[in-house]
Chains A and B, each alone.
Chain A
Amino acid sequence: MSDIEYLPEYDAIASTMQMYVEGSKHGKSELMRPAFHPNASFFGYAGEQLAVGTQFLFDWIDKNGPAPHIEPRMVSVDILETIAVVHLEVAGWSGSLAGSGVRMSDLFTLLKTPNGWKIIQKAFHWHA
């Protein structure tokens, strides 16, 4: 990737991730929806239950409510032209479904679309 491209792409990816973080923090799926591609998929175990589909995520976020103390950290950002992988660690989850002091490890795949970088897949691990 040329010098001119790396910074704007990194920063654009960070902005998309920030939409996800804001939606999580405020317990409002409408804030994070624009970050997701319409065909995005979503997988992970929420306790014993296998959660599938972004609608599960959006419903969960709205039902969980605000998580004002979440501490997100971008562990890695790998950019390969039109695709990217982001590992996000989020500690301090709270809310009616999360409980309190919960840590999640999230892996996102993003696609560079004409409308910007969009999350095409999210897989998560909910730490016991």
Chain B
Amino acid sequence: MLQPNTPRKTLESWKQIAAFLDRSERTVRRWEENEGLPVHRRSHEKQDTVFAFRHEIEAWRRSRTKCPGDPLAGEPDSLSSSKSPINGYLIEHDAITRTMHCYIAGARAGDSNLMRPAFHPSATISGFCQGVEYSGSIQHVFEWIDKNGPAPAIEPRFARIEVIGTVAVVHLEVQRWSGKLAGANARASDVFTLLRINGQWKITHKLFHWHE
């Protein structure tokens, strides 16, 4: 049973989300499309009934990045200005989240160019799809994403972000994946391995599981 959300915790419309970010509705809708603004939709309702958690919007605002050619890339966020060991965890956690949002943006738009910067050039993929084992170059993912097309209703959730020095593991649950290849409403459980190279987190491996 869902917890009732007080107005303090959630923003319940595009209007409230826009007001919270002090931008127009058009801008925040574009941010959802292109920059991974974490907006959710309630199940069994119209596509346009949205809500957002304040803490997620705030975290996104701190870590906001466009994906390719991002003028904000490399710009220190407010946390990195005080480089104490205590903040080190947060900086890495947020940097990993930024990389993952590039992946999510690419999936949502059906555009591999948006997600490419998230990956190491030698990244690989493994997993089963309808009983067939796939493994090989990450290029297969890019081709799949472009062929599948947009999945505007995807709902990603971070089930795990574990940082151990220069490596990290992310378990991403993605529901409502649609498109020419995904179908109407697919669910994926993906486990990503990331490496921190030259201060940037890059996905080195994607392990996927499509649910029946």
B2 proximity list for chain A (CB < 8 A): 8, 11-12, 15, 116
Q: How far is the CA of A69 from the CA of B155 in the complex (A)?
A: 29
Size bin of chain A's contact surface: 35 or more
Q: Are B157 and A10 in contact (CB under 8 A)?
A: yes
Q: Are A15 and B90 in contact (CB under 8 A)?
A: no
A21: CB under 8 A from chain B? yes
A109 proximity list for chain B (CB < 8 A): none
Q: Residue-by-residue, is A1-41 near B (CB-CB < 8 Å gives 1, otherwise 0)?
A: 00110111011101110110110000000000000000000
B53: CB under 8 A from chain A? yes
Chain B, residue nearest A73 (CB): B93
With A89-B93, A91-B86, A103-B89 already in contact, the answer to whether A7 and B55 are too (CB < 8 A) is no
Number of A-B contacts (CB under 8 A): 85
Size bin of chain B's contact surface: 20 to 34
A58: CB under 8 A from chain B? no
B162: CB under 8 A from chain A? yes
A97: CB under 8 A from chain B? no
B83 proximity list for chain A (CB < 8 A): none
Q: Are A15 and B5 in contact (CB under 8 A)?
A: yes
**Selected A-B contacts with CB under 8 Å, 21 pairs:** A6-B173, A7-B43, A7-B157, A10-B157, A12-B2, A16-B3, A18-B9, A18-B53, A71-B79, A75-B160, A76-B159, A76-B161, A76-B162, A77-B157, A91-B87, A91-B89, A101-B86, A102-B86, A116-B1, A116-B2, A127-B86
* Residue positions of A touching B, CB distance < 8 A: 3-4, 6-8, 10-12, 14-16, 18-19, 21-22, 71-78, 89, 91-92, 101-103, 112, 114-117, 127
* Residue positions of B touching A, CB distance < 8 A: 1-3, 5, 8-10, 40, 43, 53, 55, 59, 79, 84, 86-87, 89-90, 93, 155, 157-162, 171, 173, 175, 185, 187, 211
